[in-house]
Structure 1
Amino acid sequence: MKKVIYALILPLMVVSGLAFANREFKNEPSKKSASKPLSAAAMKAERERWETTPEGIRYKKWEASPEGKKVLAGAANIGKYISTFTDMEAVVTSLSLPPGSQLGFGVMARINGDDYILSFGTEKSDKNFLSFKSEFQSLHSLKVNDKIIIRSHSVLHAPKYSYPIISGDYVERDSKILYKRAPRKDGC
């Protein structure tokens, strides 16, 4: 009987010892060094290297084209509002984004005579799968020609789109807040 118990305990001890040993290796700090931020010279060299790639060449051609200049000028026109996160008066011009866009939920808006894509990101439903409420539910009440106040932290541009892309962080209509982006949980 003792031999049977020892025969069962011995493999159990070996297996648990191996499992414990693997756990210790996983908890050790990585021997890889953390990547350091690039210096200004290194960033410039990397940008110059990228500009010689096919994607970089296409981007530079787009940037010099009339369409690219129009998009970049539109982004520059609202730069002061973006950098200070101040109110921009806009008029909703379309409730859908341009065909083929992959920006998630958004609308088209006109600010100071220029058209912009006002993008909010992908639409996520409420955590309760039985509830079909989305975080953009109040934005679905917007209509064409509605006057809204928007605030944003960023404006982007891409050769794929004929308009600058404003990230919608805050939307107000008739002094009523329709949308306010929740702050990120990771602190950035």
Structure 2
Amino acid sequence: MKRIIYALILPLVVISGLLYANREIKDEASKKSISKPLSAAERKAAMKKWEATPDGIKYKKWEASAEGKKVYAGEAKIRKHIRAFTNMDAVVTSLSLPPGSRLGFGVMVRISGDDYILSFGPEKYDKNFLNVNNEFQQLHSLKVNDKISIRSHNVSHAPKYLYPIIVGDYVERDGKLIYKRAPRKGGC
């Protein structure tokens, strides 16, 4: 009987020791990864260094090109609405994003005569990987030429896309809410 008890306790002790040691290793790694923020001079030097790389040169060329200027002009048109988080009236122009897009689920919209990508992020799947989460269910009912009102906290750009990218935080159709981004958990 004592042998059976020792046989059961010994693996428990070994596993507990391994788990405790693994926790200490993770604690040390997290303490080392915390670094102080860069000063303005360090950020400027890092930016100059990046601008000298092939990607930096390519980005600067894109900014100076007609496509880059068009994207920046589109961002400037809606910046006031983004800062104030006010409604922007839009018309859905396409139910799919440009080919090769990696923005997740989204649609193309036209606001004040300019085209924008309205991105909502990746679709989440249930545990059985067969059912799509209902978060975007009402957005899937949108049709081309639907008039919607959008609110967003963020607009961005990327050289890969010919349009500014609006992150969809709040969408209404016919005065009814069809999407509202859930607030982040555990953050600001």
Q: TM-score under structure 2 normalisation?
A: 0.84
Task: Give SS of 2:70's match.
Answer: helix
Q: Give the gaps of 5 or more residues in structure 2.
A: none
Q: Given that residues 97 and 106 in structure 1 are in contact (C-alpha distance below 8 angstroms), is that contact kept between their aligned partners in structure 2?
A: yes
Once the two structures are TM-superposed, the CA of residue 132 in structure 1 deviates from its matched residue by 4.4
Structure (1/2) with the larger helix percentage: 2
The CA distance in 1 between the partners of 2:138 and 2:15, in whole Å, is 56
How do 1:81-160 and structure 2 match up within 5 A? 81-127=81-127, 131-160=131-160
Q: Given that residues 123 and 133 in structure 2 are in contact (C-alpha distance below 8 angstroms), is that contact kept between their aligned partners in structure 1?
A: no
Aligned equivalent of 1:27, options 20, 24, 28? 24
How big is the alpha-carbon RMSD for the aligned residues of Structure 1 and Structure 2? 2.8
Equivalent residues, number: 183
Once the two structures are TM-superposed, the CA of residue 22 in structure 1 deviates from its matched residue by 7.4
Change beyond 3 A, Cα 1:21–1:92: closer
Task: Give SS of 1:148's match.
Answer: strand
Q: TM-score under structure 1 normalisation?
A: 0.84
Aligned partner letter, 2:180? K
Question: Could you report, residue by residue, the CA deviation over 1:72-124 in whole angstroms, capped at 9, with x for unpaired residues?
Answer: 11111111111121111111111111111111111100111110000111111
Looking at CA atoms only, which structure, 1 or 2, has the larger radius of gyration? 1
Q: Given that residues 125 and 135 in structure 1 are in contact (C-alpha distance below 8 angstroms), is that contact kept between their aligned partners in structure 2?
A: no
The alignment-based identity, stated in percent, is 66
More deviation in 87-96 or 33-42?
33-42
Change beyond 3 A, Cα 1:22–1:62: same
Aligned partner letter, 1:51? E
How do 1:7-86 and structure 2 match up within 5 A? 16=13, 20=17, 23=20, 26-27=23-24, 29-30=27-28, 32=32, 34-86=34-86
The CA distance in 2 between the partners of 1:132 and 1:19, in whole Å, is 39
The CA distance in 2 between the partners of 1:65 and 1:153, in whole Å, is 27
Task: Give SS of 1:135's match.
Answer: helix
More deviation in 17-26 or 136-145?
17-26
Q: Given that residues 126 and 134 in structure 1 are in contact (C-alpha distance below 8 angstroms), is that contact kept between their aligned partners in structure 2?
A: no
